[in-house]
Amino acid sequence: MLGVIISGHGGFASGMEKAMLQIVGQQEQVKAIDFPEESTSELLECQFKKAFTEVDSGDGVIFLTDLLGGTPFRTASMIALAKQKVEVITGCNLQMILESLLERDELTITNFQDFSLASGHRGMTCLKDELKKSKEPQKTDEDGI
């Protein structure tokens, strides 16, 4: 199973973890690491390396971060560039995290990347578009009988 490390600024990671626990329950091989204002990139790197050893079963590790170019993303990227079977996905939202975690035991690291990006994009919408979808005729599979 792929290991997952969730990280982001402030309480992003612990907030996502708390929501995850409420919605889908405890997940194996998942660690959440916050990056509060008083932290440093050196401390974050140490936390990432420790978490990496705790979640890595040999299938690969995915870092899920909040913001492209932010310290959690850059720190995770440096670790990913030095190792194999490591991916960094950024711009994460709750839908992406939950769907990806629930499907990860069936996914390779590359499939996980594709799946999580698709689910994250799917979760970005607005009320107007959702209402429009609900008014469109639903397609049905008819067998002609």
pLDDT tens-digit series, residues 7-42:
999 999 999 999 999 999 999 999 999 999 999 999
Q: Residues 6 or more apart from 50 whose CB is under 8 A from it?
A: none
* pLDDT (0 to 100) of residue 136: 76
pTM over 0.85: yes
Q: Alpha carbon of 92 to those of 51, 114, 138, 140: distances in Å?
A: 19, 13, 30, 33
In 3D space, the residue among 119, 111, 101 whose CA is nearest the CA of residue 27 turns out to be 101
Is pLDDT larger for residue 130 or for residue 34? 34
Q: Residues 6 or more apart from 103 whose CB is under 8 A from it?
A: 112, 115
Percent of the chain with pLDDT over 70: 94
Band the pLDDT of 90: cuts 50, 70, 90: very high
Average pLDDT, integer, range 111-121: 94
